[in-house]
Structure 1
Amino acid sequence: MSSLLLFTGILSALTSTGYSLLCSHCNALGETSCTGDEKKCPSDDYMCGSTNTVTIMEGVASKMFTRSCEKRSACGISASIGFLKGKIKTATSCCNMDSCTPSMPILPIENFQKNGVTCQSCTSSDSYWCHTGETMECTGEEKRCIRQSTKTSGAKSSTIAVRGCATKNICDLGNQDHDYGRIKTITEMTCTSSSINVHHNLLLLALAALLSMKLML
């Protein structure tokens, strides 16, 4: 009975103080697992997460697997970004115990069905920003227009910007920063509904107003 009371007291103390998990932090190219140092998460709003990402650029695919503390809102996400030169597919799984190993994240299934949304699309490998007049027709669940920039520092340094179509769940994540041990990443994003359709509608309204003015003269 005393052991049960002791366990209950410890559990209550951990809950009341917002216990933070201890999770592995690492990254690996072309792998489906990695190992690294264990670190405490910032707060009890984080879980131990594994993220599987595949980036396809002009037909060439590269894979990245990472483990770190992940916000609970990111757990279970399976999302994608499409752009003229390729696609980014990513998925995150989580577990809720010290030093636990999440299950392998499952990437979203490809869907080539056009959904009626049109977005501007471009990529840049050395800037936070890219701008273009080129557009693309979105497919599947990618019903948001996105501008995303990612800065990587540490053992590997790079700055990448992409504009295109995105699933709602990746937009819901908002800006993110991760520490994988050897590298750190800061990702910023802005999502909107179909900007092309909005601009097109505004143009039609302006033309209609101009025509009405001419008829009144």
Structure 2
Amino acid sequence: MKSFPKRQHPLKAEMDIPQQPHCPMDGKVQMYRTSTIHRTYAIVFLSIMAALWSQGYSIRCFKCSGSSPDCNASLIQCKPQYDACNTKLDLLTIKNESDDPYFSRSCAQSQYCGWSISTSFGSASTLEQSSCCMSDNCTPAIRNISFNGLKCPTKYSPPNLYPQGIESCRGDQNLCFNFTNTQTTGNTTVQVNILGCANEQFCRNFRFTSPTFLEGNVSCVDATAELV
């Protein structure tokens, strides 16, 4: 009778396979490789962010103007030095009747936001103020412009057509400002003097507010409710 070789049990055959010796460093090598990959990703991410920052990343603001603070005609990318969106309000009142307010929106530097001034000359008075917010596409809240009971002497010269009067302050205007400037054109020298109400932000940063105040000096004192 023909004999066949005895078949080996499959489990025993698997058990007979020589096992590779375990290296205690395998786990540490794997952890090192994983950590290296994570560090590489972090370096790449930081490099990308640094490149974006070096190119001047800044917020986006609406640039427009009109009779409403909610205009959104054009969305622009601000320059790197601007970190806020600004809404500027101009209001003209003649003989106690206010014209429609005029709003203009654009990019701004937050440290120069939040100023407010009002002046008067004869039967007319003006209010200028700025409000800011610091996120993409945001709309600054319009601050209070109601009369607050405080008063300041007011003057706007030249021209010297109007006597010095009294201005009623609005909102957070709790200071009286006195702006002076000397302008020389050829042989003519003109003394500019403007008095009115202002808030603290204007008195701190008046050089960066209205174009009227780019040069000259300003001093401020507390406003009072008993000015006559």
* TM-score category (smaller protein): 0.5 to 0.7
Structure 1 residues 93 and 101: alpha-carbon distance in aligned structure 2, compared to 1, 3 A threshold: same
Aligned to 1:112: 149
Count of aligned pairs: 161
The equivalent residue for 2:218 is 192
Deviation at 1:79, TM superposition (A): 1.2
State whether structure 2 residue 164 is matched by structure 1 residue 164.
no
Q: Structure 1 69/81 Cα, relative in aligned 2: closer, same or farther at 3 Å?
A: same
- Structure with more strand by fraction: 1
8 Å contact 2:88–2:128 — kept in the other structure? no
Contact 1:52 1:90 in 2 (8 A): yes
1:130/1:162 contact within 8 Å kept: no
Q: Which has the higher contact order (CA 8 A, sep 6+)?
A: 1
1:32-73 per-position Cα deviation (integer Å, ceiling 9, x unaligned):
311222333233334222233433232222211221111222
Give the percent of matched residue pairs that are identical in Structure 1 and Structure 2.
14
The one-letter code matched in structure 1 to 2:211 is T
In the alignment, the residues of structure 2 paired with residue 191 and residue 32 of structure 1 have an alpha-carbon distance, to the nearest angstrom, of 31
Larger Rg: 2
1:130 maps to 159
Following superposition, the deviation at residue 188 of structure 1 comes to: 2.5
Gaps of 5+ in 1: 123-128, 149-160, 177-185, 195-217
Q: 1:192: how far off? A: 2.8
| Residue 94 in structure 1 maps to residue 139 in structure 2 | no
| Contact preservation (8 Å) 2:116, 2:130 | yes
Q: 2:64, 2:72 within 8 Å by CA — same for their partners in 1?
A: yes
- Contact 1:24 / 1:38 at 8 angstroms: preserved in 2? yes
1:145 aligns with 2:178: yes
C-alpha change, 1:68 and 1:41, in structure 2 (3 Å) is same
Instruction: Pick closer, same or farther for the CA change 1:113–1:21 going to 2, 3 Å.
Output: closer
Q: 1:53 to 1:8 in 2, by over 3 A?
A: farther
Runs (4+) off by over 4 Å: 1-7
Q: Which stretches in structure 2 are left out of the alignment for 5+ residues?
A: 1-37, 182-191, 221-228
Match of 2:75 among 38, 41, 44: 38
Structure 1, residues 144-174: CA drift from partner, whole Å, max 9, x if none? 02479xxxxxxxxxxxx99430314235242
Alignment correspondent of 1:181? none
CA contact (8 A) 1:120 1:132 kept: no
Partner of 2:29: none
Choose from 59, 68, 79 the match for 2:116: 79
Pairwise mapping of residues 23-34 of structure 1 onto structure 2 (< 5 A)?
A: 23-29=61-67, 31-34=68-71
Report the TM-score, using the length of structure 2 for normalisation. Answer: 0.55
